[in-house]
Amino acid sequence: MLSGLDHLVVTVTDMGRAVDFYSRVLGLDVRYRDAQRVDLMLGDTALRLHQTDTDIAPVSATPTPGSLDLCLRCQLPLDEFKQHLDALAIDVELGPVARQGANGAIESIYLRDPDGNLLEICRPAAR
């Protein structure tokens, strides 16, 4: 029946700050849909940003900045990605640590976006 994820909505308090973080820090491509919606592209999937003070309907029952816990796959080795974060003065909360992903063993680091959402950045574990 279902075949994948098209987009996931991330509620943010400041659109400009969120776009800057996700594009500059995580390297996501930005697509402006209109004045109130921005898509951050992950291949053919989007993280769609909605700012809290905009009138977009329908939305979840309680759209809340900082409530997301999201795991994103990284193409770089995690030590290189961590060096990138260090150069941008982005704190790593935890990792690298061994975890279990959707398709097997992964290695992850954890950080937070400007709204406090937990972002897990992962790579398949070395065998």
Of the listed 80, 93, 107, 120, which one is catalytic? Answer: 120
Q: Which amino acid is at 43?
A: G
Catalytic, 120? Answer yes
3-state per-residue secondary structure call for 11-68 = EECCHHHHHHHHHHHCCCEEEECCCCEEEEEECCEEEEEEECCCCCCCCCCCCCCCCC
Find the Cα–Cα–Cα–Cα dihedral 62, 66, 69, 75, rounded to 10°: 130
Q: How many CB atoms lie within 10 A of CB 111?
A: 20
Q: How far apart are CA 66 and CA 104, in angstroms?
A: 27
Q: Which amino acid is at 121?
A: I
Task: For residue 2, give the DSSP letter.
Answer: -
Residues taking part in catalysis: 120
